[in-house]
Amino acid sequence: MTTSRIGEPAATPQWRDRKRYFWLFGLVAPTAVLIAAVAVWAFHQLGWDPVAPVWWWIGPLLVYVLLPIMDRFFGPDGQNPPEEVMAQLEADRYYRYCVYAYIPFQLISLVFACYLWSASDLSWLGMDGGLGLASKIGLALSIGVMGGVGINTAHELGHKKQHLERWLSKITLAQTCYGHFYIEHNRGHHVRVATPADPASARFGESFWTFLPRSVWGGLRSSWSLEKTRLQRMGKRPWSIHNDVLNAWLMSVVLWGVLVAVFGPVVLPFLVLQAVYGFSLLETVNYLEHYGLLRRRTESGRYERCTPEHSWNSDHIVTNIFLYHLQRHSDHHANPTRRYQILRSMDGAPNLPSGYASMITVAYCPPLWRRVMDHRVLAHYAGDITRVNIQPARRSRILARYGAH
pLDDT in tens, 101-148: 999 999 999 999 999 999 999 999 999 999 999 999 999 999 999 999
Quote the pLDDT of residue 15.
82
Question: Is the predicted pLDDT of residue 405 greater than 90, yes or no?
Answer: no
pLDDT in the model for residue 2: 41
Report CA torsion sign: 41, 42, 46, 51. negative
Model confidence at 315: pLDDT above 80: yes
Amino acid at 39: A
Contacts of 208 (CB under 8 A, 6+ apart): 202, 284, 287, 363, 364, 366, 369
Q: Judge whether 89 and 17 are in contact, CB under 8 Å.
A: yes
Task: Give the per-residue pLDDT at 135.
Answer: 97
> For 239-257, what is the mean pLDDT?
95
Give the three-class secondary structure for 92.
coil
pLDDT class of 257 with cuts at 50, 70, 90: very high
Task: List Cβ neighbours of 347 (8 Å cut-off, separation of 6 or more).
Answer: 308
Tell me: the pLDDT tens digits for 27-49? 999 999 999 999 999 999 999 99
Backbone angles phi, psi at 324, to 5 degrees: 55, 50
Kindly indicate the confidence band of residue 301, based on its pLDDT and cuts at 50, 70 and 90: confident
| Cβ-based neighbours of 23, under 8 Å, separated by 6 or more | 95, 98, 321, 324, 341
DSSP 208-228: HHHHHHHHHHHHHHHHHHHHH
Vertex 202 angle, CA 293 and 380, to 5°: 25
Q: What percent of the chain shows pLDDT beyond 70?
A: 96
Q: Given a cut of 80, is residue 213 above it in pLDDT?
A: yes
Mean pLDDT (the chain) is 93
Q: Residue 322 — very low, low, confident or very high, per pLDDT cuts 50/70/90?
A: very high
pLDDT in tens, 170-188: 999 999 999 999 899 999 9
11: pLDDT strictly greater than 50: no
Torsion of CA 246, 146, 188, 220, to 10 degrees: 50
Residue 194 has pLDDT above 90, yes or no: yes
CA 404 to chain centre: 35
Q: Which range scores top for mean pLDDT: 55-69, 296-310, 344-358?
A: 55-69
Query: What is the reported pLDDT for 13?
Result: 55
User: pTM of the entire structure?
Assistant: 0.93
